[in-house]
Structure 1
Amino acid sequence: MNFLNTYESCRLCPHECGVNRNAGELGLCGEDASLRIALAGLHYGEEPPLTGNGGSGTIFISGCAMACPFCQNHQISRKGMGRPVFADEFAAICTALQLAGAENINLITPSHAALRIAEYLDFSRQAGAVNLPVAWNSSGFESVSTIERLKDVVSIWLPDLKTLNREAAARRYGISGYPPAAARAILAMADTGDTIIDTDGRLRRGLMVRHLVLPGEMDSTREVLEWFARYIGGKAALSLMLQYTPVHIPGEKRAIPGRGINKREYNLLMRWVEEFGIDDGYIQEPNSSMEWLPNFNRVNPFDSRLSRTLWHWGRGFIEEPSTDGGN
């Protein structure tokens, strides 16, 4: 699977910035053609069908095409943390996750590196390094052509659907074209195959759409719920995330909500879920707390109750791959 020449005039995401990433130029994602990773480990805070008993095998990719002004992972998405890895090290990371008991390989913010990831996943499978389902945990800001290229590699789609309101997309993210691009991408993901959940309740294939509910933006959330119910209800699960916490990124000048979700907004959300008949999915309890925010300067950026680090960009393997555990 060799699509790497696309990096020569990159149109991988809807930005279509056209830079030559193969020559070392940086796209709007902040990345050249290399694959940079910040962290890999088991994560226990994902939705139950992803976490299972062993945890989700998360791989945090550096860079991002969105630059959200309140990104909890801004150290790696915008501030450059992470280092390049090649196919053999990527395969070793996948092996370590699998041997540690991961339920899946969960690629976080992968879209801008899709072609390199596809190449490395192909290498890893041929080398026998991984036979777990691959989850594509993205912003939803994808091109349909990229999804077509990935449909034989990715089993589980986990896109965000941040908003379907162009004004809100321009104001919050600086990308007025996000809503139509994300809607097209998610519809394409829904067409890649039926949902498969095994006898242990683990998601092995399918689509789960995530939506972060923003304080003061409830009209935008209602649009998302209505669209979901109309176009992909019955073909996908919906995960409503209520953990918004104000994150102040150095140098970020855009205004962000200064509080978490309140009780009135939560109750309104519950009424809308019932109104639109959405019964396949997950709703977090409101939890706006700085203690849950990651710090990627630490070997384990997350609370130890949520994760276990196996590989860190500044240290390499924290735990050497072992034959103990596994699926």
Structure 2
Amino acid sequence: MDRKKEGYRFCTLCGRDCCVDRYRTLGYCKSSDKLKLAWAGLHFGEEPPITGKGGSGTVFFTGCTLGCPFCQNFQISRQGMGRELEDADFLKIVRALRERGAENLNLVTPSPYIPTLVEILPLVRDEGFPLVWNSSGQEMKEAMKGIFPLIDIFLPDLKTLDKRVAKEYYHYKNYPSVAEPLLLEMADRKPLVLDERGVMKQGLLLRHLVLPGELESTAEVLKWFAKNLKGRAMLSIMSQYTPVVTPDYPEAHPDRFLSGDEYDQVVEMLYENDLDDGFIQDWVTGSDWLPDFNRINPFSSDLSSPLWHWKDGFV
């Protein structure tokens, strides 16, 4: 049995441990053994060290191991929107992104496809630009052994370190115990390196989405970052929480936006922890910005330039 086949046969890639045979059935991530993509293009809306001047060569995979009830990308993370591709077709997309001048290859929610990516990312590295692993930060360290040497930049989330929050919002109380050691391993393996333009060539940039009504959870994350990763990684605070109602989740939770007062409190927490090497989104409310992956360009035209779409192929 080859490595790819073994990885999908009894799936334990993430902490949920579905243990299903993904050649026969879908796991919690709603993914099979085939790469499935929704969109690829140049993205200019990531953090400046990721975007650079040329934009991040972003590839959105279908499926997700976490399943947040407020996911802005719910069409592809939970509803299966996308197209299955052969490995050779994926490589064509990667090379086209490189030809467009992408600063890096940004793999968004790649975790369900670790066994395949372990085999084909060595070919991608020949394209000569940094590889970004953009995930929810809940992969098992054992599953990531083959991925660690292939990735230059880690761009994971740290949702929470509170088991109650993890259980209530993500139905996954073990999330903190999976994410914490993984993030430390990422920082240990990839010391922070930026070029003369401030563009990231290697390292860890950790994202945290602030949940309305759960500022104590955010305070715990910031204290943990200050203690464990300050000076070794960059931090990005996301304030864009948007309640999204879908057939999968008929009631958004929480059902409101982050308040201005809550935003100000988070800014104060950053000062209290002496955290200034990173980014925080402007405070915004409203859902006009939410992407729609039915469109060739799911994002606003000033944030992205499409290259490939699951309905139309190359565009």
Partner of 1:97: 97
Alignment partner of 1:313 is 2:314: no
Partner of 1:224: 221
Does the 8 Å CA contact 2:114/2:144 hold for their aligned counterparts? no
Gaps of 5+ in 1: 319-327
Partner of 1:321: none
Which 4+ runs in 1 deviate beyond 3 A? Answer: 1-4
Secondary structure at 2:142's aligned position in 1? helix
Partner of 1:62: 62
Q: Deviations over 1:136-162 (max 9, x none)?
A: 000011111123221111100011000
Partner of 1:14: 15
- 2:25 is matched by which residue type in structure 1? E
Does the 8 Å CA contact 1:87/1:124 hold for their aligned counterparts? no
Alignment of 1:111-260 (within 5 A): 111-125=111-125, 128=126, 130-253=127-250, 255-260=252-257
Partner of 1:323: none
> Percent of counterpart pairs with the same letter?
46
1:297 to 290, 294, 303: 294
Task: Please give the alpha-carbon distance, in whole angstroms, between the structure 2 residues aligned to 1:291 and 1:254.
Answer: 19
Secondary structure at 2:270's aligned position in 1? helix
Pairwise CA distance, 1:5: 1.3
Q: Deviations over 1:224-273 (max 9, x none)?
A: 00111111111111100111111111231454122222221111111111
- 2:294 is matched by which residue type in structure 1? N
Secondary structure at 2:311's aligned position in 1? coil
Task: Please give the alpha-carbon distance, in whole angstroms, between the structure 1 residues aligned to 2:9 and 2:61.
Answer: 21
Q: Say what the alpha-carbon RMSD is for the aligned residues.
A: 1.3
TM-score (norm 2): 0.96
TM-score (norm 1): 0.93
Task: Please give the alpha-carbon distance, in whole angstroms, between the structure 2 residues aligned to 1:227 and 1:165.
Answer: 12
Does the 8 Å CA contact 1:172/1:254 hold for their aligned counterparts? no
Q: Deviations over 1:27-56 (max 9, x none)?
A: 111111111000000010000010000111
- 1:287 is matched by which residue type in structure 2? V
Task: Please give the alpha-carbon distance, in whole angstroms, between the structure 1 residues aligned to 2:73 and 2:293.
Answer: 8
Task: Please give the alpha-carbon distance, in whole angstroms, between the structure 1 residues aligned to 2:109 and 2:87.
Answer: 18
Partner of 1:52: 52
- Sort the Cα spacing of 1:76 and 1:8 in 2 relative to 1 into closer, same or farther, 3 A: same
Pairwise CA distance, 1:3: 4.2
Gaps of 5+ in 2: none
Partner of 1:324: none
